[in-house]
Structure 1
Amino acid sequence: MNQTVKIILVEDELYNLRLLEGMIKKLRPEWEIVQTFDSVKESVDWLRNNVHPDLFFMDVQLADGLCFSIFDQVEIKSMVIFTTAYDNYAIRAFKVNSIDYLLKPFKEKDLVAAIQKFENLVALSTGRVQKQDYSEILEAIRGGEKKYRKRFLISKGEAFYKLPVEDIAYFYSENRVTTAVTFNRQNHVIDFSLEALEEQLEPAEFFRANRQIIVNIHATEKIENYFGGKLKVKLNPPIEEPVIVSRLKATDFKQWMGR
């Protein structure tokens, strides 16, 4: 497809917006990015008064609500590729009810596949597509969201106490013992492995930096470039051993920090 395709990007995370812009310009330099928006309101205001594009790349969760609010206020006949950090429970709904979806962090091969799917659909339908039904996606997101742990029950002597997750700066594992360190520098042994904790903790708040530690985003004071493409993380409260993020995880970690 060599013709100019007009697109709009709706994304409220600047890092992801710039990443997606760069990937699209590399893969389809002839495409025109007409506008970029970071909110439902901004999108609706523009779409009510302007010609719609051929294709949207649209983040599901925007700063002022879910992107589906846009469809409630403006009739969208263009094709849509959703971008989302949601995993597992909503993926089936995206596959069935949208042109395609891109899971964050973006991968070029996934964008290539989504673009090719769009181009194939345009070629088969001469540009006309049936109005898409997003109700199942919305239901999957609202009704199927994973519930993350809010607190732990810890013991001191003969007594038990609640330890809110937001009070924990990081979890580290040593000699198969997992310890939670709070922001006020108290240590508590937790009866879960780091692997188990990864499944229980809100991924927007906690990141598995390496095999030994999971860090709270509010405990990450500074990150520095380290040799071999790795990152060195300074935590507050500090930890004795340096926290090193591998080269393979470095991009994901920086993206997580910038959300």
Structure 2
Amino acid sequence: MDVLIYMKLVWLTIAHAEDRIIGGAEVVPHSIPYQASLQIRSVHYCSGSLINPSWILSAAHCAKPPYLITVVLGEHSLSKSDGNEQYYKVARLILFPYYRYTTFRHDIMLLKMNKPAKQNAYINPIAIPTSDKTLPANTLCTVSGWGITAIYSYSLSDVLMAVEVPIISRYKCNRPSSYGGRVYPFMICAGYRTGGKDSCQGDSGGPLICDGVIEGIVSWGISCAHYKYPGVYTSVSKYIKWIKNKIKRF
């Protein structure tokens, strides 16, 4: 039986419909102060994370021409402004040089905003890992976004959602009954054996947070919240040197 591999973004042709985290709940407004909404013509299509006053970390498959992208920080409701939002243009977009669209290898990018964010109680960077490491299986992490709530839905959640998911070993994720070798060492799997909780379309580029550090970036998966196919994330710890080098250089 054929299965559909999802990049967890929202195509702009369907972005007017509603999408969100599956099996999660609305977060306390502004309790995730590093979460960014990437928008085109005021329409959310991907997420990102503020890791430096001037820099957003996201997924490479969320790349669009920089002049089209608006970075919105301090966002909670996509349809209502509460006065805490900040809007920035993208001055520079940097893809990891070996990114492969067909296999999701090295699905990571950096966006430099046109000016530093004004940090406050609602907008603050998240820490990146300090060393390359393998997260122990069953480590509980949190993924957040405005993505879909149900498979085959096309509706963006109006409010920011989050769900906790445990890390799954790459060995288990690569079993023949699961991803069969498609999960590489620079990727992380997270989800439940029974399924039901996951990131999905509209959540692409968003953060997977473990112990207060961004360890993963929402990347891809087969279906969403499927018991055989957990969410797959880019492992941020594999790119520490690249991230620091680009921030320092530009």
Q: Shorter-chain TM-score: which interval? A: under 0.3
Structure with greater proportional helix content: 1
Q: Which has the larger radius of gyration?
A: 1
